[in-house]
Structure 1
Amino acid sequence: MKYIDVNVGIVGAGPAGLTLANVLREHGISAIVVEKESRDEVETKARAGLIEHRTVAFLKRVGLAGGLLANGMTTESCTFLHEGEAFSVPYADLAGGRKHHIYPQQFLVRDLIATFLDRDGDILFSHEVTALDGGDRTRAATISARSQDGTESVEIRCDFIAACDGSDSIAHQSVPESIRRPVTHQHPFRWLALLAEVPPFVNEIVYGMHATNGAAQMPRTPTVSRFYLQIQDGEKISDWNDERIWTALTDVLVLKDHPVTTGAITEKAIIGRSDHISRNMQHGRIFMLGDAAHTISLAGGKGMNLAIADAETLAAALAEHYGKDDEQPLGRYTTDRQHKIWKAVLFSHWLINLLHSTPRNATPPAFSNELRIATINELRRGGPVARMFAEEYAGE
């Protein structure tokens, strides 16, 4: 058994855990990260890519934005396609110049790992957490982990534990449901998520709205796009060969005289997601961040941004604890984050219902579709609805 003593034990090498680890390191607070997957798996798994201006400003301030500023793209508007007609919403102009950076999450994770290791940080890759004890006022918290090959067992003794390893994790589940008090909502929509070797149609996200389904094309790099396609409940990946996929995307992402560009599809997955928000994100010495605390729909790209904001808030609270012996910021962690989280959930819920057609079994579809068309028309006009969209989409 290997024993390690640190101030903060972090479970999960995603954006939240790695951002927290790096910022704590700069404050002179020791931390270790435990990650069940290998470094290669973590650095290559394709996920989100839309980074809000506030997130970029924070990462720049703490010296973690070098890669995304050097290699990311920026976008200031998004395109909506409806019944073959396109219109653009210049959300940055409507929201005081606040634009997004587009930088694949795995690239950001790669940068955060490299920076933390360069700062003599320690990450235990390929180590699965087997037990977690939150400790109490007189006893340190502990994280027990074992290497995937079974050759090493580790016990980490720490003052605090940061659970950054997703909604189905042992760290998340170590906080009783009666403490977390989660709120859940199952969306009636399911998506086929694709990564394809297709250049972006334009340097912005394209949302396609159709009478029977919705779709989106999102830039990831100058040569790669992420696509989402609404599918029906019960459909499987095997039901969707490449030909059917491109036919369906062409039907939705249709623009007069401009067919969808096709290319090699390198990744397929079906996503059916529910919102799951913990109303309490802390329990004793355990603090939950990112998906361990809240998962929301993909609409609006809020997930990674919320996770990094969680890390910013918790890092500042821990700095107050260790630097000034001030416990109040740690006690307010949940309260400080809940308003921002629910604000993002509210917008995401609004946007997801705009972008997707009413499922076949839902009622009444005619009413929902007319509301959808009315909202699209208001977005197109550029009035109050467009300004609301811009403010919430861009983020504060």
Structure 2
Amino acid sequence: MKKLQVDVGIVGAGPAGLTLANVLREHGITAIVVEKGTRQEVETKARAGLIEHRTVAFLERAGLATELLANGMTTDSCTFIHEGEAFSVPYADLAGGRKHHIYPQQFLVRDLIATYLGRGGDILFAHEVTALDGAHGAQAATISASAVDGAESVEIRCDFIAACDGSDSIAHRAVPESIRMPVTHRHPFRWLALLAEVPPFVNEIVYGMHPTNGAAQMPRTPAVSRFYLQIQDGEKAGDWNDERIWTALGDVLVVKDHPVTTGVITEKTIIGRSDHVSRNMQHGRIFLLGDAAHTISLAGGKGMNLAIADAEALAAAMAAYYGQDDERPLGNYTTDRRGKVWKAVLFSHWLINLLHSAPGDVAQAAFSNELRIATINELRSHGPTARMFAEEYAGE
């Protein structure tokens, strides 16, 4: 077994882990990133793409936004479609000019990998973590990982472990549930997530609302869109052929009988996760970031932005520890992040209930639809509800 020693062991080469690794390196703090996927897999896996202005500003300060700024798109409004009527909410105008950048997550991951390796960083791709120990009182933490190709296994000795590898991982489970104290909410519907060779309808996100389901079209590049379509619990991706998909999307995203543009669907997956939020994001020498700490619904595009904000906060706390011998920021990591996480959950929960129709009896559906219409009227008026939406959607 090969033995390595660094200041911080990072599990997961996603936005949180790679951002943390890059910022730590600029502070002179050594780290190794352990990732179970190959470099090609993590650089091509399509995920989120809506990046808040605050996230972009932080990445720019850290020297991590060059490609994003050069090649990403910006958007300052979003479109809602309800019963064939489309209207735009200029959220940047209502939120002090705060815009979003649109840049596929896999592109950002690719950039972060290239920058980290270019700065002399170390990433162990295709290595699966088999054990880790970061308990209270231990003089050091350890990560054990096996190479997928059967090569020599690795043991990493470190001061701290950053778990950035998602909600169903060994690093996440290394913090006992009794310590994490998670709270969970199961949504009564799921989503079919699609990547298609379809130009964006407009250069902004389009949310479609329908009495029986909801849908969205999100720009990824000038020629590619990501679609989300509400489906029933229990349905499988195989139940949806291309014809059925485009028919259902056309029912929701139609504008005055103009059909939705169709194209080649290159990816089709089911998203059906529950909101799952850890009330405690640290234990001993282990810190949870991103989906390892909190998974929330896709509404509002908050997940990746929260993950990068976690990395920003933890990097600053570790810089204080190593640079100033100050342990307090590390001890306050959960406290500092909790309020911002729940603020995002609150908005996401509000938006997802606006956009989607919950299964139920006819009376419940009618009541839900009337609430939706009332909210739409408020959004159209650019009054208090629209200003609340703009502030929370754009982010701080």
Q: Which TM class, normalised by the smaller chain length?
A: over 0.9
What per-residue deviation string (whole Å, max 9, x for no partner) do you get for residues 156-197 of structure 1?
000000000000100000001110000000011211110000
Instruction: Identify which range, 15-24 or 370-379, moves more after superposition.
Output: 370-379
What is the letter of the counterpart of residue 247 of structure 1? T
The corresponding residue for 1:23 is 23
The corresponding residue for 2:183 is 183
Inter-partner Cα distance in structure 2 for 1:35 and 1:234: 31
Contact 2:55 2:308 in 1 (8 A): yes
Corresponding residue SS for 2:4: strand
Task: Report matched runs for 1:40-189 at 5 Å.
Answer: 40-189=40-189
The corresponding residue for 1:289 is 289
Task: Report matched runs for 1:211-222 at 5 Å.
Answer: 211-222=211-222
The corresponding residue for 2:321 is 321
The corresponding residue for 1:246 is 246
What per-residue deviation string (whole Å, max 9, x for no partner) do you get for residues 125-175 of structure 1?
000000001144352100000000111110000000000000010000000
> Please, what TM-score do these two structures have when normalized by structure 1?
0.99
What is the letter of the counterpart of residue 192 of structure 2? L
Inter-partner Cα distance in structure 2 for 1:51 and 1:363: 38
Inter-partner Cα distance in structure 2 for 1:282 and 1:388: 32
What is the letter of the counterpart of residue 199 of structure 1? P
What is the letter of the counterpart of residue 157 of structure 2? R
Contact 1:25 1:31 in 2 (8 A): yes
Moved over 6 A (4+): none
What per-residue deviation string (whole Å, max 9, x for no partner) do you get for residues 234-253 of structure 1?
22212211011101111100
What per-residue deviation string (whole Å, max 9, x for no partner) do you get for residues 31-66 of structure 1?
000000000000000000000000000000010001
Per the TM alignment, residue 20 of structure 1 is displaced from its structure 2 partner at its CA by 0.2
Inter-partner Cα distance in structure 2 for 1:325 and 1:139: 16
Per the TM alignment, residue 206 of structure 1 is displaced from its structure 2 partner at its CA by 0.3
Instruction: Identify which range, 126-135 or 335-344, moves more after superposition.
Output: 126-135
Contact 1:358 1:369 in 2 (8 A): no
Per the TM alignment, residue 369 of structure 1 is displaced from its structure 2 partner at its CA by 1.6
State the percentage of identical aligned residues: 85
The corresponding residue for 2:309 is 309
Corresponding residue SS for 2:25: helix
Contact 2:211 2:365 in 1 (8 A): no
What per-residue deviation string (whole Å, max 9, x for no partner) do you get for residues 69-94 of structure 1?
01000000000000000100000000
Per the TM alignment, residue 363 of structure 1 is displaced from its structure 2 partner at its CA by 6.7
Corresponding residue SS for 1:161: strand
Number of equivalent positions:
396
Corresponding residue SS for 2:250: helix
Contact 1:91 1:394 in 2 (8 A): yes
Inter-partner Cα distance in structure 2 for 1:137 and 1:235: 47
What per-residue deviation string (whole Å, max 9, x for no partner) do you get for residues 207-254 of structure 1?
000111110000000000000011112222122110111011111001
Corresponding residue SS for 1:364: helix
Contact 2:195 2:224 in 1 (8 A): yes
Per the TM alignment, residue 362 of structure 1 is displaced from its structure 2 partner at its CA by 8.7
Query: Root-mean-square deviation (CA), in Å?
Result: 1.0
Inter-partner Cα distance in structure 2 for 1:333 and 1:363: 45
Inter-partner Cα distance in structure 2 for 1:8 and 1:271: 32
With over 3 angstroms needed to count, the CA separation of the structure-2 counterparts of 1:172 and 1:362, relative to structure 1, is farther
The corresponding residue for 1:224 is 224
The corresponding residue for 1:200 is 200
Inter-partner Cα distance in structure 2 for 1:199 and 1:391: 28
